């Protein structure tokens, strides 16, 4: 008789409620991870993310082997096929209980419902855990028991829930019997996809090292430095969080410990608020499944007639719009699979307001490149930038990318790193080389739209919705 843990978006042994619960039984414990490459492709997973997940699934197999828990890799193509395969696996290993941590995308929920239905028939118990957020998803509600659709009151309630509840971590299970021998450890061959050089080191302990080093050395200065892409001012833990190598609880507790150890309260507090943003968007996905079906949070914005994407969309994707900060950011994304948060906002607003191209196309393109692609946050960020989402940027407040560049990359260092054509320009000209009839360096494009005109047109189109 066996307890089976099905790992999905939670590739870690520490603070994993499904794993801890499965190991509370006296029955043997096993684990599985199902590869669904066609489904990943349908969900626009990037090669960088696929490679990251595979590397971490392999690392997880080794960690679990030390605890005496064998992990099997099951090959399916799509979620639909995975149910059959999971059933055979459970029958082969005489599984009595299946444990997993919940996921909230619409297809993931459909899959899990189908699994529950099938396993009820087979009389295999299914236990689900709410792991993805600090406060269990659905727990942070208004006084009227309604979901929040604005971040600030959500975060206030989130903080008071934490103060009332003192969430802790789920313990790493004790080793059970003998470790699984190295030759019995299942491995996924690495040659799955072409991907950029991995951005961060592989493994749970590497993730914790990065988190702790950030909190010790840079967390206190987060508030002042987080908006400057040329500075190493943010944690870069998003690939780990997006794929469950770290949990939100671990981040919150580590952040609070750093505050308790005398770190700069405000800087660390601002960073903790980012964990609240993540939880906010996961709750939005949970309460409003339409956002994971390409629908706008604000239904009235679905009437917007977006421009046909065409050549301008290609210019945006490849970093050839003639707006240096946009181009630098897109090239960073294309080459590394990551982009700084400030620039995600700038490039998303440029696409949706200045080029007036549908946010859904930008959302899918980001997903197809990001190593930290995470439906809830990516959708939330895109709908915020496009003014179609919860708490969205008001439609009339459109970032001017050149002003943003002057403010957040004042010396042009970030632009120089990613747009070598402009490397020789001084700190004044680099943000907008064609301004005041300046000569644009050879090989660099002229701006593909007029920033002021396109801003005005976008605002007018949003205003029309009101009439």
Q: Which is nearer to ligand FAD, 203 or 373 (CB)?
A: 373
> Considering only 18-26, 82-90, 97-105, 381-389, which stretch makes contact with ligand FAD by CB under 6 A?
381-389
Task: Decide if 401 contacts 346 (C-beta within 8 A).
Answer: yes
Q: Under rule CB under 6 A, how many of the chain's residues touch ligand FAD? A: 28
Closer to ligand FAD by CB, 29 or 241: give it: 241
Give the one residue of 50, 242, 268, 325 binding ligand FAD; rule: CB under 6 A: 242
Which of 72, 368 has the CB closer to ligand FAD? Answer: 368
**Single residue of 12, 210, 278, 353 touching ligand FAD by CB under 6 A:** 278
Distance CA 262, CA 138 (A): 33
Kindly name the residue from 306, 417, 421, 457 that is annotated as catalytic. Answer: 306
List beta partners, residue 29. 3
- Count other Cβ atoms within 10 Å, centred on residue 107: 17
Interface with ligand FAD includes 345 (CB under 6 A)? Answer: yes
Nearest distance in Å: CB 242, ligand FAD: 5
Joined tokens for residue 426? 């001084």
DSSP annotation of 133 reads: S
How far apart, in whole angstroms, are the C-alpha atoms of residue 14 and residue 240? 13
Single out the residue of 29, 370, 398, 419 in contact with ligand FAD (rule: CB under 6 A).
Answer: 370
Say whether residue 385 binds ligand FAD (CB under 6 A): yes
Report in angstroms how near the CB of residue 340 gets to ligand FAD at its nearest: 6
| Cβ proximity to ligand FAD, 21 vs 333, nearer residue | 333
- Which residue, chain included where needed, has tokens 């087979």? 122
Nearer to ligand FAD (CB atom), residue 6 or residue 277: 277
Contact of 36 with 79, CB cutoff 8 Å? yes
Q: Does the annotation flag 395 for ligand binding?
A: no
Annotated catalytic residue within 6, 158, 382, 384:
382
Give CA–CA dist 97/123, Å, rounded.
Answer: 9
Contacting residue, 281, 286, 365, 462, with ligand FAD by CB under 6 A? 281
Q: Could you say whether residue 236 binds ligand FAD (CB under 6 A)?
A: yes
How distant, in Å, are the alpha carbons of 38, 55, 373, 403, 427 from that of 412?
A: 41, 35, 27, 12, 6
Among 324, 381, 389, 433, binds ligand FAD (CB under 6 A): 381
Please tell me whether 237 is known to bind a ligand: yes
Query: Annotated binding residue at 316?
Result: no
Whichever of 82 and 377 has its CB closer to ligand FAD, that residue is: 377
Q: Is 306 a catalytic residue?
A: yes
372 near ligand FAD (CB under 6 A): yes
**For residues 39 and 332, what is the distance between their CA atoms, to the nearest angstrom?**
26
Q: How far apart are CA 312 and CA 357, in angstroms?
A: 9
Alpha helices in 299-357 (DSSP H): 310-318, 324-336, 341-349
Task: Please enumerate in sequence order all residues whose Cβ is within 8 A of that of 169, keeping only pairs 6 or more positions apart, or say none.
Answer: 14, 15, 247, 249, 250, 253
Minimum distance between the CB of residue 221 and ligand FAD, rounded to whole angstroms?
A: 12
Is 274 annotated as catalytic? yes
Residue 71 pairs in a beta bridge with 31
Catalytic site residue 45? no
Minimal distance, residue 21 CB to ligand FAD, in Å? 25
- Min dist CB 124 to ligand FAD, Å, is 34
Out of 241, 330, 371, 393, name the contact with ligand FAD by CB under 6 A: 241
Shortest Cβ 406–ligand FAD spacing (Å): 20
Q: CB within 8 A of 362, min separation 6: which ones?
A: 316, 347, 348, 351, 352, 382
Selecting among 108, 274, 316, 379, the annotated active-site residue is: 274
Question: Look-up: residue for tokens 């951005």?
Answer: 199
Q: How far apart are CA 10 and CA 245, in angstroms?
A: 6
Strands, sheet with 28-35, edge to edge from the N-terminal-most edge strand? 71-75, 28-35, 2-7, 95-101, 125-129
- HSE, CB side, 13 Å, CA atoms: give it for residue 353: 30
H helical segments located in 67-171: 79-92, 106-122, 151-165
Residues 211-230 binding ligand FAD (CB under 6 A) are 226
Summarize the annotated binding site for FAD as residue ranges: 222, 234-238, 271, 274-281
Residues designated as active site? 274, 277, 306, 341, 359, 382
- Footprint on this chain of ligand FAD (rule: CB under 6 A): 226, 234-238, 241-242, 274-275, 277-278, 281, 341, 344-345, 348, 366, 370, 372-374, 377-378, 380-382, 385
């Amino acid at each position: 008789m066996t307890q089976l843990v099905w790992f999905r978006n939670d590739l870690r042994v520490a603070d994993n409620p499904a794993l801890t619960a499965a190991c509370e039984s006296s029955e043997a414990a096993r684990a599985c991870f199902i590869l669904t490459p066609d489904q990943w492709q349908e969900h626009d997973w990037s090669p960088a993310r696929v490679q990251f997940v595979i590397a971490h699934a392999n690392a997880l197999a080794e960690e679990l082997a030390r605890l005496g828990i064998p992990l099997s890799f099951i090959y399916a193509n799509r979620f639909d096929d995975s149910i059959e395969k999971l059933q055979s696996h459970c029958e082969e290993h005489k599984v009595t209980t299946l444990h997993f941590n919940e996921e909230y995308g619409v297809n993931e929920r459909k899959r899990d419902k189908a699994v529950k239905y099938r396993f009820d028939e087979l009389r295999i118990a299914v236990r689900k855990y709410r792991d993805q957020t600090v406060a269990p998803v659905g727990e942070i509600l208004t006084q009227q028991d309604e979901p929040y659709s604005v971040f600030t009151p959500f975060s206030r309630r989130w903080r008071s829930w934490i103060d009332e509840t003192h969430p802790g971590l789920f313990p790493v299970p004790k080793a059970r019997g003998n470790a699984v021998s190295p030759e019995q450890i299942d491995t996924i061959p690495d040659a799955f996809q072409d991907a950029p050089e991995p951005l961060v080191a592989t493994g749970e302990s590497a993730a914790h090292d990065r988190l702790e080093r950030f909190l010790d050395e840079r967390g206190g200065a987060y508030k002042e430095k987080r908006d400057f892409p040329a500075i190493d001012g943010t944690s870069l833990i998003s690939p780990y969080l997006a794929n469950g190598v770290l949990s939100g609880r671990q981040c919150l507790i580590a952040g609070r410990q750093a505050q308790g150890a005398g770190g700069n309260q405000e800087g660390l507090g601002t960073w903790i608020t980012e964990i609240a943003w993540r939880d906010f968007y996961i709750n939005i996905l949970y309460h409003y499944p339409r956002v994971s079906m390409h629908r706008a949070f604000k239904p009235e914005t679905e009437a917007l007639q977006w421009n046909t994407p065409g050549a301008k969309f290609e210019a945006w994707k490849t970093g050839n719009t003639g707006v240096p900060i946009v181009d630098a950011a897109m090239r960073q994304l294309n080459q590394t699979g990551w982009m700084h948060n400030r620039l995600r906002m700038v490039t998303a607003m440029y696409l949706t307001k200045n080029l007036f191209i549908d946010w859904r196309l930008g959302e899918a393109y980001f997903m197809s490149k990001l190593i930290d692609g995470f439906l809830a946050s990516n959708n939330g960020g895109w709908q915020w930038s496009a003014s179609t989402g919860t708490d969205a940027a008001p439609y009339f407040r459109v970032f001017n990318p050149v002003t943003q560049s002057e403010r957040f990359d004042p010396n042009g260092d970030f632009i120089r790193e990613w747009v070598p054509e402009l490397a020789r320009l001084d700190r004044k000209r680099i943000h907008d080389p064609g301004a005041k009839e300046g000569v644009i360096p050879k090989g660099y494009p002229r701006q593909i739209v007029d920033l002021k005109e396109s801003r005005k047109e976008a605002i007018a189109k949003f205003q029309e919705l009101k009439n």
